[in-house]
Structure 1
Amino acid sequence: MEKKFSHFSKLIITLFLFANLFGFPIIASSNGQGNKGDTEFEKIIGLIQDKYDVSITVDADAVDQKPEIVKKISDETDNILKSKNIEDALKLLTSGTGLQYQKLRNDFYIIKLKKEPQKEEEVPEKKNRFEGGEKTIKGTVSQKSDGITLPGVNVYVKGTIVGSSTNIDGYYEIDVPEDATTLVFSFLGFKTVEVPIANQTTIDVQLVEDVFGLEEVVIAGVASATPRRNLSISVTKIGGKEINEAPASSAVSALQGKVAGLNISSANGLPGGGASIQIRGATSLRGNQKPMVILDGNILYTNLADINSDDIESVEVVKGAAAAALYGSQAGNGVIVINTKRGKGTGKESTSVIFRQEVGFQKLAKQIKQSTHHPYKLADDWEDYPYTRYANIWYNDDGYPVSGNKLLNDNDSSYADQPYARLYDHQDRFFKNGMYNTTYISFLGASKSSNFMVSYERNNQDGIIFETGGYTRNNLRLNLDHNISTKIRVSTSNLFLTTKSDNPGSNSTFTDLLFIGPDVDLMEDNNNGTPYRITPDPWSIAENPLYPLANMDRTSDRMSFIGNVRAYWDIMEGLIFNVKYAYEYRNKQWSTYTPKGYLGNYPSNVGGSLYKQAFFEFNQNFQATLNYNKQIKDFTTKLKLSYLYENIANNGFWATGRNFSVYDVPQLDWTDNTEATLGSSEQKITSINYISILDVDYKNKYIFSLQYRMDGSSLFGENERWHPFYRVSGAYRITEDVQIPGIDELKIRAAYGNSGQRPGFDNQYETWKGGYGYAYPSTLGNKDLKPSITTELEVGLNMEFLQHFSFEFIYSHGITDGAIQLAPLYSHSGYPYQWQNVGTIQADVFEATLSAQLFSNRKLTWNASLIFDRLRQKITEMTIPPYNTGPYNAFLFAEGETFAVIYGYSWLTSLDDMAAQLPSGKTIDDYQINSDGYVVPKGSGGTNDEIPILLDKDNDGLADKVEIGNGNPVFNLSLNNTLTFKRFTLYSLFSWKNGGEIYNYTRQYTFRDLRDIEFDQSGKPEGEKKTINYYSTFYKNTEINDYFIESGSYLKLREAALYYTFDKHQLINIFNGLFQAIRIGFQAHNIFTISNYRGYDPEVASGRDLSN
């Protein structure tokens, strides 16, 4: 034991130093069984494998050789390695040793002891014997592609536990009951084969590789574990290997671009920030499109960005309301089921260790281009001063203006083409290159009756913003499984996590950055000697963006403890009863501290302030489930009955104190209690759910599923406490009946069902607002409030063809009834609003996935996938008047309107449109199209009279709002490639969003201070210049207009990684053979983006702004 831990400590120290010195990811795994490493004989085998590029398996009986034989082989090593080919080398190796080799295929050999000839082939010990009424079946299992025999294939009688396995030569024998009808052959990585027994006593089988994972088992949305080939609903499974091709910073980041119909965008671009997640579009009028997330059986409320991806074994995305019907009133937006690693599969009495160290940096992808010229007249001696000196301005000795007004350089044609005396790159000072590092270690072990998985991960991201600490996360996981007896087993999954985020100090920091003139030195001190002058630009009201970053503290801390305990009782063959208790404790705390003496523009900041908020939540649920799986002749039946009780209790409080009585003591006790504000909240939610589902298949080709669930929740209105959810689905595997040349698997399927979204906690109740001793009514209660219900019809086609290609196509038509929104009330009700079921949203979705194994041999493997989706949505019914909503009321929600369209003012670009709204006394000859494509007065080009004209549809002299943009893309497309050459692996993931508009409000805001790059006319020919008056017209006092509608299309290289793997034979002399493998390489995320969008990133979403 001491030797094992000594090895492990050396491993940790060496890898940590290596990673931090060279700054790239390292992944290492080792076997912790406590042995002394490989024998001398195995070392020689490793050298042969490397020399001839083959795989050699040594039979267990052949590993330990007598010293004299090992010495003989060792003495011949040089000659062995000089052999012309692998066959000659193995002949020389085994000559005179009592060993023999067997060729399984060109690159795979087995070495075993020579055995005396036997009358009958030796077979593995049979697992079952029968007293009578039995017969023996024997045969050989091989690989169809090259005829090589397969050892270790499971052979069993369908619907029973009677089984055996093939020996090292692919040979098997099995005693079966006389009435047995079907023999099943299964092997990891190959398609399962079922063969009718009839009167046969010899059955030889050839297995085909399962290139696309049809035999992978899915547990989400079905009665019990089901192979993908037998699914009748849409569930996409992403394995841990695919997730970790280029390990992401969190579980949510790991899914981007990998699932058709799943759209993920960062909520704010900050490290550890939440994410906007949508599956097949929107189902709510209130903006809550988040899918249900289940982690190891727990309904998860913790931020998914706080869950590390290294622990993930697989993710199953249940897409659409029909597939998600099993999850009822919380699953209208789909379901993401995350399964973490366990100790299973490591072997008996074994322990393995995985260590990963990643070090790198983050940087701003691109800057926003801004003007570096102005339109004002310069002083005659401006070049003699280190600052920009304007005419008609009196300056003090420090160079600050005291009186006077700036004059435009040319009143008739005010072009921004005058130089500044100096230029600073404010964005370069504001943003930095931030380091990030991830340290991960896990222990997986198994014994005869138990297994465990323990892991720890620490992720630290400095972020890219000046004087901002970024994000730190710690994840500690413990998963345990134990077999108490052959009938009873227990398991537990537990995760403890903490995060700490340091956020930018001011809400206006990013806009202030873009307002300040380029000749202003942000690093200049204040008059009191403190750094970063608060108002550095005398011609702007903007604060120095660096000052709040350096002087205000805005932090958020999150802690979650997530766990469950399960018990399983195998009552009888096929009948299992299990119970689960799950819990999640969350604690979130926010703090904003403005110190006394803060030099802000607002007087309330001078005395300082402290805002604190805390939130506590304890979620728990209890579930009892009865599973019955039975094989009756050609029918496979799976029945699940379940009871689920949910309880959520949370409370929170917040307090703000102002005017500290002392400096540098950020405690509420030291603030003026006469200016304090306080608040608190408390919620208790209870739900009870009854669940049933029946899955049946006949001969593995006719597949049927029927599901019914009844949900009762305290969130539903008093008169609507219970609501049912259902699904019926079916599939037909055509190629089980009809052999089609070139088609290996063809399945059609359809599903119809529903799921829902629960109302908010206070939606059914009468509420009041108020404070400081007064109150007023806010919303009228609604006892008839229902959950919104999304009903979906889905049809799909799955096909595998030419043994190397897989294709899936899905069409989904979904209707969400009873979408919840605040409805305005008549004044006589005494309340202005009431939450009601008011709308119907229709969605049509097309999804397609094409996967291919483009090349495969021992040296080179190339796999690729192309993922496509297209979404169209509209509001088909609405019982309340049309209304504008969203940031700056840009979105119009009305019956018949496309979902996510942007409404605003439109500038005329057609003389025909101008002719329809001519002012009195004007003709169309009085107007022209200018060089930018806008209608302007004729002859006004390049002058202050060049003013674009707004659309006036009804010609009443007032501009009208019309549809000016659509946020829905034409389609999304992703392409991922994994190329493996020998021990090198190259991975890439491209994402292409085609179409969809973004409103660039950030850019519009900078028009106020003439800071956008459009204003800069320097270097343009005189006849092509535009005045500041022309561009300022588009600002329109920040009202939404189509000048700032921009294309949201982009092509992004989202992930790329290049790794080299050292296997155990290469590492045999390091730490006495401790390492099983080391993977070392480089990876990057969001490497480049090709887009016409003028903001920072077309993909970053914000809940507050239309743009970023």
Structure 2
Amino acid sequence: MKTKFSRMLTLILAFVVQLTLAQEKTVSGIVSDENSLPLPGATIIVQGTTNGTSSDFDGNYSITANAGDVLVYSFVGYATKLITVGASNTINVSLDADNALDEVVVIGSASGKSTKELSFSIGQVKNELLENVPATNIAGALQGKISGISVSPTGGQPGSDVSIQLRTANSLATGQQPLIIVDGVILEGGLSDINTEDVERIEVAKGAAGASLYGSRASNGVIQIFTKRGKGNDKVSVTYRSEIGWKDVSDRYDLATTHRFKMTADGSAFDLTSGSREVDADGLSDNLYPSNIVFDYQDEIFNRGIFNTHYASVTGGGEKARYLFSYQRLQDEGIIALVEDYRRDNFRLNLDNNISDKISLKTSFFYSNSNRDGSLGGGIAGTNPLFEALITEPIYDWHAANEEDGSPYNFDANTFDPNLYNPLYQLANQDKIEKRNRFLGNVSLDYKVLPWLKLNGAYSIDFENNTFEDYIPKGYLSASPDGQAQNIGFLQRSNFNGRAQNIRLNSLITKSFGAEDEFNLNLRLSYLHERYANEFNNAEGYNLAVSGIRSLDNIAGGPTVSSATQEILTDSYFAVADFDYKKKYIFSGVIRREGSSLFGPDTRWANYFRTSVAYRLTEDFEIPGVQEFKLRGSYGTAGIRPTYEMRFETFNLQNGSPTKATLGNNQLKPAKTGELELGINIDFLDKFSFEFNYVKAKTEDQILRVPLSASTGFGAQWRNAGEIDATTYEASLNYDIIQNNNFSWNLGVVWDKSEQKISRLDVPAYLTGPGTQETTLFRIEQGQNFGAMFGNIYIRDLADLPAGSNASNFVVNEFGYVVDAATRSTPVKKVDSSGNEFFTMGDITPDFRMAFNTTLKYKNLALYALVDWKQGGDIYNKTKQWLYRDGRHTDITSGLPYNFFQGLYNTNLASSAFVEDGTFVKLRELSLYYTLNSKALGNIGNFIDTVKLGFIGRNLITITDYSGFDPDITNQPESNRANLTSRDTDGIGSDVNTPGGDPNVFKVDNFPYPSTKTYSFSVQLTF
């Protein structure tokens, strides 16, 4: 009986095992997105087990599972899908983009993470927004799309770079520019070479809390740019885009057409009885000019400029290799007459190679070549035709021939003011040529040692070569730009080479553990070596021996030669860990130790860290109507490096004789920002996404030039000597108003408010900003806001009269100023009880910034608009101050005495009369596109996939009370690196602390290259 039972039990067990084995099978298929494109690297796991695999480059996968098992399909940026294994051995899965997940970011983390899982704030601009209105400079595309960012061109001339400020100003003397990384390349040069069409997305860490990973270069934030790459779908795709349009100056000055000088009895000429012009007895600027023709020289210098771009890209590849090749050409005439076009040619090659299952190689190469007319800045003297166009009285014919040689543009037509010249003569006869070559390269090798361990090594380079030539021919008539060159000529040639090389080594550990893999860890350990070297050479001289020969050998007596070299070495070691429990309790930490030759020998190493946490409430609690609710807190530190020459003992060389300049400092260390960031993220009603951040930052050890006593023999020393406290509030809202197959409407809103105050200053208060020392007006003083304007205030209320004044002797005139009652021409300054006449009279800090972007799509039609709003924030209108001096501003003709306006002019000293509210609302971007697909194209659709036709506008409308050209003010064109003369080879002023006239801090309207509004048409073809 026992034997029979044993046999029966054996048969039953064998049947069970056979049944079990029969249920286990291999399941295979393809993982794709909603557009049927394969998703390489998608994860497939048997739920509740460690049995898993990933899809290949074609989305193919295979996995062993039993009938009834649940397969979990996931891919970053897509909604996870669960499918139960049935009878079929083939399961093809289409994953939908996770709208709640929204975005995946890389910046500041150990590896790519969804925004849901971030514990600090990161801004992102995706390709869809960039493509609506492609910017010629990629930095300009950020304005109005991310909260807490301010973008200003450093000069409106085509090819000029852009100044960017993230959140608040953190540095008193070294600028606010963030660190910029493009495809792994840390940039030393600017962004003016990068074209928008290549960019896939931009990620922005706006402060130390998110950017601590990047150490002593990250206090001002980090911008990381990722360009497009091949898709690996075994299909070759070709895109061609062309845009052509025109640009006009945004606005013009309304200038005076009458004057204050005595006329002859019949009014046909100036009264020159005394030998020169005299002011009319009534002192009013109401006399007509003697000429029947009154010129507006703005018509002479402003052109309607044509610009065009052509862009083509080819992408393709398969499982083993993917590629993207692109070319873009930009040509822009600008708006200033007689200035040569700006031309830029860009080439890009991005390659991805799977060498084996474990080894992959990723490369990015970019080359840019550009040519620009340098006539509007730099060299021995910059040309500013706008100054002469606005200041010169409108009675001279600039197109008349020169009596000396018959050449056009009479240079000395202005007989009443010999200090003013005809700028058209200079533009026509002086040649300034800037040429720039830029190469960016990155090579990255990944080795997957184990499923949970990846090693990576990368090398990157940013190489730039800038050349500059300034040529004034022999026989040049004018004393402008340089009287020394008049008649004898001038030649300057300079060359700048800069090479930034970086080596990175990384190890990435990715592990999930726990009973249900509820704990997740990403740990990256890294080493970074930075090496930057540059060389500058300049040769120049007057007195050309032979006319028409542009050779340094043609300089009689030989040229003056100068040169400068720099080399900077930095080593960094850092670790970043991202940890979470069930993706609802989230932690991130960073530790970085960094040593640089820029730091003093006694303070060679600096440490940085970040710790951040987040809690996703909606993973634990169901809140009606709320899909995601996350609380965040982060604290991090980051630094600001000294510039090259700051820690060294420096001398000025003149005629071979050295004189002491600055004393070296072995204790100099980077400034350090500590930033606390608290924030929330809420997604609700399946339509809204909201983010709010409160940020408190303190930047210690400000790097300032401290004056020294004469006994040291040196004028100053760079020291760590101050602090800035800053507060920022940021909010952003995205609203999917309508979403269906035929019609969609989206609205995005960003808002921010910031302020920064100098909480400690270890040097005496001083004035700084653009311009010379006697005309700077921004006061750096403990307790003051950074950006406060300081000068004479002209009172507007009799109650503010100085103590002891008799109010009956004064009145308030038509312009609202208190003046003496007898002459009505002397405005009264504010004076306190101690006799002080200088006060805080304005502040550049806006009350808030806000922007709205909206996209409406109906079938094949798409309309996009971006409205930018800045409320408050003062501008100093230096242009208006000059026009008051010379009687050219239209205010002069208002019926008040000319001497009244001369009083407000204040002998070129800072005056409250020229502090204006910079509030504006601007239609910054507008586009309208219509797309035809291959079906609508008929026979043409056999080889063309889509045709996209568009109208594009930029800066079309500005609503403001500001009286200048544009309240979105820029400073004078920047000096090109290749355009530094022997008079200033380090680019740092020798007398005052200055952040280089940073336009995001020092809003001074001083005859800038005006902003432009543009209209264009585009066509895009895809094959």
TM range (shorter): 0.7 to 0.9
Distance in structure 1 (CA, Å) of the matches to 2:424 and 2:859: 51
2:4 counterpart residue number? none
The aligned amino acid for 2:577 is L
Q: Name the SS of the counterpart of 2:212 in structure 1.
A: helix
2:205 counterpart residue number? 318
2:992 counterpart residue number? none
Q: Name the SS of the counterpart of 1:310 in structure 2.
A: helix
1:66 counterpart residue number? none
2:1015 counterpart residue number? none
Is 1:358 equivalent to 2:243 in the alignment? yes
2:519 counterpart residue number? 635
Q: Do the aligned partners of residues 151 and 279 (structure 1) sit closer, same or farther apart at CA in structure 2, a change above 3 Å counting?
A: closer
Distance in structure 2 (CA, Å) of the matches to 1:196 and 1:696: 30
Map Cα deviations across residues 3-31 of structure 1 (whole Å, 9 max, x no partner): xxxxxxxxxxxxxxxxxxxxxxxxxxxxx
The Cα RMSD (Å) is 3.0
Q: Which of 1025, 1029, 1048 pairs up with 2:918? A: 1048
Q: Is the Cα–Cα contact under 8 Å of residues 270 and 290 in structure 2 kept in the other structure?
A: no
Is 1:757 equivalent to 2:640 in the alignment? yes
1:647 counterpart residue number? 531
1:22 counterpart residue number? none
Distance in structure 1 (CA, Å) of the matches to 2:71 and 2:875: 59
The aligned amino acid for 1:993 is K
Q: Is the Cα–Cα contact under 8 Å of residues 301 and 385 in structure 2 kept in the other structure?
A: no
Q: Is the Cα–Cα contact under 8 Å of residues 374 and 420 in structure 1 kept in the other structure?
A: no
The aligned amino acid for 1:640 is R
Q: Is the Cα–Cα contact under 8 Å of residues 470 and 503 in structure 1 kept in the other structure?
A: no
Is 1:427 equivalent to 2:306 in the alignment? no
Q: Name the SS of the counterpart of 1:863 in structure 2.
A: strand
Q: Do the aligned partners of residues 641 and 533 (structure 1) sit closer, same or farther apart at CA in structure 2, a change above 3 Å counting?
A: same
- Structure 1 residue 275 displacement after superposition: 1.1
Is 1:795 equivalent to 2:678 in the alignment? yes
Q: Is the Cα–Cα contact under 8 Å of residues 917 and 955 in structure 1 kept in the other structure?
A: no
1:329 counterpart residue number? 216
Q: Which of 377, 397, 416 pairs up with 2:286? A: 416
The aligned amino acid for 2:172 is L
2:1000 counterpart residue number? none
Is 1:550 equivalent to 2:440 in the alignment? no
Distance in structure 2 (CA, Å) of the matches to 1:150 and 1:563: 29
Distance in structure 2 (CA, Å) of the matches to 1:773 and 1:179: 88
Distance in structure 2 (CA, Å) of the matches to 1:862 and 1:1053: 19
The aligned amino acid for 1:654 is N
2:109 counterpart residue number? 222
Is 1:597 equivalent to 2:478 in the alignment? no
Q: Is the Cα–Cα contact under 8 Å of residues 253 and 964 in structure 2 kept in the other structure?
A: yes
Q: Is the Cα–Cα contact under 8 Å of residues 716 and 759 in structure 1 kept in the other structure?
A: yes
After the TM superposition, which residues 60-71 of structure 1 pair with which residues of structure 2 at under 5 Å, given as runs? Answer: none
Q: Do the aligned partners of residues 204 and 656 (structure 1) sit closer, same or farther apart at CA in structure 2, a change above 3 Å counting?
A: closer
After the TM superposition, which residues 382-393 of structure 1 pair with which residues of structure 2 at under 5 Å, given as runs? Answer: 382-383=267-268, 389-392=269-272
Q: Which of 335, 338, 347 pairs up with 1:476? A: 347
Distance in structure 2 (CA, Å) of the matches to 1:552 and 1:718: 47
Is 1:980 equivalent to 2:857 in the alignment? yes
1:775 counterpart residue number? 658
Q: Do the aligned partners of residues 353 and 851 (structure 1) sit closer, same or farther apart at CA in structure 2, a change above 3 Å counting?
A: same
Q: Do the aligned partners of residues 639 and 194 (structure 1) sit closer, same or farther apart at CA in structure 2, a change above 3 Å counting?
A: farther
After the TM superposition, which residues 63-102 of structure 1 pair with which residues of structure 2 at under 5 Å, given as runs? Answer: none
Distance in structure 1 (CA, Å) of the matches to 2:235 and 2:679: 43
1:1006 counterpart residue number? 883
After the TM superposition, which residues 480-879 of structure 1 pair with which residues of structure 2 at under 5 Å, given as runs? Answer: 480-504=351-375, 506-527=382-403, 528-540=405-417, 541-601=419-479, 603-606=483-486, 607-632=488-513, 633-673=517-557, 676-879=559-762
1:380 counterpart residue number? 265
- Structure 1 residue 192 displacement after superposition: 3.5
Identity %: 36
After the TM superposition, which residues 145-294 of structure 1 pair with which residues of structure 2 at under 5 Å, given as runs? Answer: 156-157=45-46, 162=52, 176=65, 184-186=72-74, 191-192=79-80, 210-211=98-99, 214-294=101-181
Unaligned runs of 5+ in 2: 1-19, 56-60, 86-90, 377-381, 972-995, 998-1002, 1009-1023
Q: Do the aligned partners of residues 509 and 177 (structure 1) sit closer, same or farther apart at CA in structure 2, a change above 3 Å counting?
A: same
Structure-2-length-normalised TM-score: 0.87
Q: Is the Cα–Cα contact under 8 Å of residues 435 and 467 in structure 2 kept in the other structure?
A: yes
Q: Is the Cα–Cα contact under 8 Å of residues 68 and 84 in structure 2 kept in the other structure?
A: no
Distance in structure 2 (CA, Å) of the matches to 1:755 and 1:1106: 30
Map Cα deviations across residues 229-263 of structure 1 (whole Å, 9 max, x no partner): 10111111211121111111121122121111111
Is 1:1063 equivalent to 2:947 in the alignment? no
Distance in structure 2 (CA, Å) of the matches to 1:615 and 1:496: 17
More relative contact order, 1 or 2 (CA 8 Å, 6+ apart): 2
Q: Is the Cα–Cα contact under 8 Å of residues 579 and 625 in structure 1 kept in the other structure?
A: yes
Q: Do the aligned partners of residues 149 and 1089 (structure 1) sit closer, same or farther apart at CA in structure 2, a change above 3 Å counting?
A: closer
Q: Which of 1070, 1078, 1090 pairs up with 2:959? A: 1090
1:991 counterpart residue number? 868
- Structure 1 residue 1100 displacement after superposition: 3.0
The aligned amino acid for 1:211 is N
Q: Do the aligned partners of residues 688 and 955 (structure 1) sit closer, same or farther apart at CA in structure 2, a change above 3 Å counting?
A: closer
2:803 counterpart residue number? 917
Q: Which range is displaced more, 315-324 or 770-779?
A: 770-779
Distance in structure 2 (CA, Å) of the matches to 1:449 and 1:317: 32
Q: Whose radius of gyration is greater, 1 or 2? A: 1
Structure-1-length-normalised TM-score: 0.80
- Structure 1 residue 296 displacement after superposition: 0.4
Map Cα deviations across residues 308-342 of structure 1 (whole Å, 9 max, x no partner): 01000111011110110111111111000001111
Distance in structure 1 (CA, Å) of the matches to 2:105 and 2:668: 35
Distance in structure 2 (CA, Å) of the matches to 1:447 and 1:1000: 58
Q: Name the SS of the counterpart of 1:740 in structure 2.
A: coil
- Structure 1 residue 155 displacement after superposition: 5.5
Q: Is the Cα–Cα contact under 8 Å of residues 583 and 620 in structure 1 kept in the other structure?
A: yes
Distance in structure 2 (CA, Å) of the matches to 1:573 and 1:868: 43
- Structure 1 residue 382 displacement after superposition: 4.3
Q: Is the Cα–Cα contact under 8 Å of residues 628 and 639 in structure 1 kept in the other structure?
A: yes
Q: Is the Cα–Cα contact under 8 Å of residues 306 and 332 in structure 2 kept in the other structure?
A: yes
Q: Do the aligned partners of residues 732 and 770 (structure 1) sit closer, same or farther apart at CA in structure 2, a change above 3 Å counting?
A: same
The aligned amino acid for 1:1106 is V
Q: Name the SS of the counterpart of 1:404 in structure 2.
A: coil
Distance in structure 2 (CA, Å) of the matches to 1:1051 and 1:533: 41
Distance in structure 2 (CA, Å) of the matches to 1:624 and 1:1060: 47
- Structure 1 residue 775 displacement after superposition: 1.6
- Structure 1 residue 521 displacement after superposition: 1.3
- Structure 1 residue 211 displacement after superposition: 3.5
Q: Name the SS of the counterpart of 1:685 in structure 2.
A: strand
The aligned amino acid for 1:524 is A
- Structure 1 residue 536 displacement after superposition: 1.6
**Aligned pairs, how many?**
928
Distance in structure 1 (CA, Å) of the matches to 2:54 and 2:449: 24
The aligned amino acid for 1:1054 is R
Map Cα deviations across residues 200-255 of structure 1 (whole Å, 9 max, x no partner): xxx9999986336x252211100001111101111112111211111111211221
- Structure 1 residue 1101 displacement after superposition: 2.0
- Structure 1 residue 832 displacement after superposition: 1.5
- Structure 1 residue 380 displacement after superposition: 3.4
- Structure 1 residue 639 displacement after superposition: 0.6
1:50 counterpart residue number? none
Q: Name the SS of the counterpart of 1:672 in structure 2.
A: coil
Q: Name the SS of the counterpart of 2:602 in structure 1.
A: coil
Q: Do the aligned partners of residues 925 and 223 (structure 1) sit closer, same or farther apart at CA in structure 2, a change above 3 Å counting?
A: same
Distance in structure 2 (CA, Å) of the matches to 1:825 and 1:196: 78
Distance in structure 2 (CA, Å) of the matches to 1:694 and 1:164: 24
